[in-house]
Structure 1
């Protein structure tokens, strides 16, 4: 399984919300942990929307 680094993804963003500081524009959610970790926990597979930042 390939590990996805959200900090290198074009869909990753930082929010202003203290309780949910990280977000994913591809999946449309905010979370406390890295979005790739959350996707793996919920779906059981790695993030399929990862796109390298240019």
Structure 2
């Protein structure tokens, strides 16, 4: 099952229109979801995923 970055405490939205999404755990910004970049570059699911505190799991 793919990691949902929108429910991760390390996910953030940037003001940069070329890289509107970012990951604080890995320290990068990207156009795609960070979990997709991590999967493509490492071949593994994101290992730093931490659910947001108080997030409702759907």
- Structure 2 stretches of 5 or more lacking a match? 54-58
TM-score by length of 2: 0.89
Q: How many residues align?
A: 53
Measured in 2, the distance between the counterparts of 1:34 and 1:24 equals 9
TM-score by length of 1: 0.96
Q: Which structure: larger Rg?
A: 2
Runs of 4+ in structure 1 displaced over 2 angstroms?
A: none
- Structure 1 stretches of 5 or more lacking a match? none
